[in-house]
A and B are shown apart, each in its own frame.
Chain A
Amino acid sequence: MTVDRGRNLGRGYRLLAPTLAVMGLGLAAPLLLMAVTSLKSQNGISLTEGWTLAQYGAVLGRASYRSLFLRSVLISGAVTIVTVGLAYPIAYYVAFHARHKFIWLVALTIPFWTSYLLRVFAWKIILGFNGVINSALMRLHLIGQPLEFLLYNPFAVVVTLAHAWAAFAILPIYVSLEKIDRSLLEAAGDLGDSRLRRFLRVTLPLSMPGVIGAAILIFVPTTGDFVTPQLVGGTKGIMIANLIEAQFNGVGNWPLGAALSLVSMALVGVLAGLFVASARAATRAAR
């Protein structure tokens, strides 16, 4: 028996090894190299020999960089709240009230089966000077001049990303709502809880794993998106990823770009961790 278990264990590790090797090569080694690069400085087209903390000094010291970090986190945070907030009722509707669940789920995911770049670009067409909204309002004679405040600002970035990432909110929340044991809801009702109270004390806490998962799946990648700010953000909607991208393109500064990447990765990681911890604590308190 013990021999058999040992054989099984060995097989288990052998099954795991290729995946770990690929992730080690593609993830651990490059990140290590990024840390090394961030401790150098650029010298023409090569890197200097010695070690320096100059890049981190620049990243943390410059007010313009700090405000860019802050803006990126605020925009991604707003995107997360808006996306999850808009998606929750629809996930709830499909899980509890819709008659043809499968058709609803397919209908809700079809818009995501086309190019991300073009979904983002579509908002430029909708919000633009001669776009869908402006031409419709002009046609209806509600406005005389096209509205210019629709595009090229943080608002446009938030709306566009809330659309582009909607599936990542709908699906995890739906799955967690679908898993809820319906007899718990009946019990709460039988024990005299009102609908609202039942929702707040049973449904919402039990669906929090889906909400937390969705929030992380949206917050983390949107902080690294330089496409959307560039297409619809204008100068006021520029995010940290645009600055990072610029360091690796044309006249770049790789060590500075590496330091910016690591600092933003750490910042996003810490914020995501804090969010998960506090959301879990709040869920426990609500029960």
Chain B
Amino acid sequence: MKHRALSIYAFAYLAFLYVPVLVLPVFSFNNSEFIAFPLSGFTTRWYAGLADDSAMLHALANSLKVATVTALLSTMLGLSAAKAVTHNRLKGAGAALGFISLPLFIPDIVLGISLLLLLGATGLPLSLAAVVLGHLLVCVPFALTVLIARFEGFDRNLEEASTDLGENGWMTFWRVTFPLMLPGIVASLLLTFITSFDEFLIAYFLSGTEATLPIYIWGQLRFPERLPMVLALGALILTASVGLVILAEYLRNLGAKKPMVGA
């Protein structure tokens, strides 16, 4: 009985999560400039309009650049820090972890503004590089959390065996550590990429004239006639992200099944 109530609740909750998100594709195919019911026929013109929008394409390219660099850097930093705190009994490892995780306890707007002040004081320009630095603050703690969890289930003896058998540090990393960590690395890359790709509050203060995609979207929300196109963009982002998640899951399974020595 209790069980059935929970199941009903679960489906109601799914509806709560999905209805607002489904608004995006529904209105992106609606043949009217006004985002209101009743719907007035099917069109693909909003999608066609997107392809000709050079400002949008430029912002998309910027976001892809920022998210790729952020994902790679934060996963590399997370990987080395996670290895340090799980494999070496370092004095002060707890304090270092606490410091690295600090951005999780600070509102993003404060991170963005403090970096804006730093740029102002040092005379450095607002730029995509500044956005990457800001995104690293939020992404490194995520990467670290994912990677530490993976390292904790990791048999240290495998690395030692590799060293004993005469492999140097780099070869041990590439042939033992890396394949074993691959699922964690993929998860970290995915999480940090999506976080950076969607980040608005920090980029808002740091991007200057080079808009990222969320900055572009924010600018468009002020113009009612641009909204259907923005919703089409949202529907496309949703589709692409779902595809990416499925791909990552596929790769993760592939990695998990691979015999680790032959990798």
Q: Give A residues with C-beta under 8 Å from B.
A: 8-9, 11-13, 15-16, 18-20, 22-23, 25-27, 29-31, 33-34, 37, 86, 89-90, 92-94, 97-98, 104, 106-111, 113-119, 121-123, 125-126, 128, 130-132, 135-136, 139, 163, 166, 195, 216-217, 220-221, 223-227, 231, 241, 244-245, 248, 254, 257-258, 261-262, 264-265, 268-269, 272
Contacts and interface: CB of A to CB of B under 8 A. Distances in A.
B234 A115 contact: yes
Contacts of A132: 19, 23, 37
Contacts of B83: 15
Contacts of A220: 104-107
Interface in B1-48: 2-3, 6-7, 9-10, 13-14, 16-21, 23-24, 27, 34-38
Interface string B101-114: 01111111111011
Interface string B81-96: 1011101111001001
Nearest to B106: A265
B46 to A, nearest CB: 14
Contacts of B13: 86, 89-90
Given A12-B88, A23-B100, A111-B21, A116 B214 contact: yes
Given A22-B77, A97-B6, 12 more contacts: A12-B84, A12-B88, A15-B84, A15-B88, A16-B85, A26-B133, A34-B114, A109-B245, A114-B24, A224-B110, A225-B108, A227-B218
Contact of B221 (A27, A231, A257): A231
A86 B16 CA distance: 10
Contacts of B77: 18-19, 22
A113 B90 contact: no
30 contacts: A8-B88, A9-B88, A12-B93, A15-B81, A16-B84, A16-B93, A19-B100, A22-B133, A23-B103, A26-B115, A27-B111, A29-B118, A30-B118, A89-B10, A93-B6, A98-B10, A114-B238, A118-B230, A119-B20, A122-B21, A125-B27, A125-B35, A130-B34, A130-B36, A132-B23, A163-B16, A163-B20, A261-B109, A261-B110, A261-B113
A204 to B, nearest CB: 15
Interface of B: 2-3, 6-7, 9-10, 13-14, 16-21, 23-24, 27, 34-38, 77-78, 80-81, 83-85, 87-90, 93, 96, 99-100, 102-111, 113-118, 120-121, 133-134, 136-137, 140, 144, 194, 198, 200-201, 205, 213-214, 217-218, 221, 230-231, 233-235, 237-238, 241-242, 244-245
A20 B141 CA distance: 12
A92 B6 contact: yes
Contacts of A111: 17-18, 20-21
Nearest to B90: A12
B81 A16 contact: yes
A92 B34 CA distance: 41
A89 B16 CA distance: 14
Contacts of B24: 114, 118, 122
A59 to B, nearest CB: 14
Nearest to A28: B99
Contacts of B6: 89, 92-93, 97
A16 B80 CA distance: 6
A217 B84 contact: no
A235 B168 CA distance: 63
Q: Which of A107, A108, A125, A136 has the most CB of B within 10 A?
A: A125
A90 B99 CA distance: 33
Contacts of B88: 8-9, 11-12, 15
B240 to A, nearest CB: 9
B218 A117 contact: yes
A77 B117 CA distance: 29
Contacts of A223: 107
A19 B23 contact: no
B33 to A, nearest CB: 13
Contacts of A92: 6
Nearest to B101: A23
Q: Which of B19, B109, B205 has the most CB of A within 10 A?
A: B109
A258 B242 contact: no
Contacts of A139: 37
A140 B23 CA distance: 20
Nearest to B20: A122
Contacts of B242: 110, 113
A268 B18 CA distance: 31
A106 B230 CA distance: 25
4 A-B pairs with the lowest CB-CB distances in the bound complex, closest first: A224-B107, A12-B88, A130-B36, A113-B241
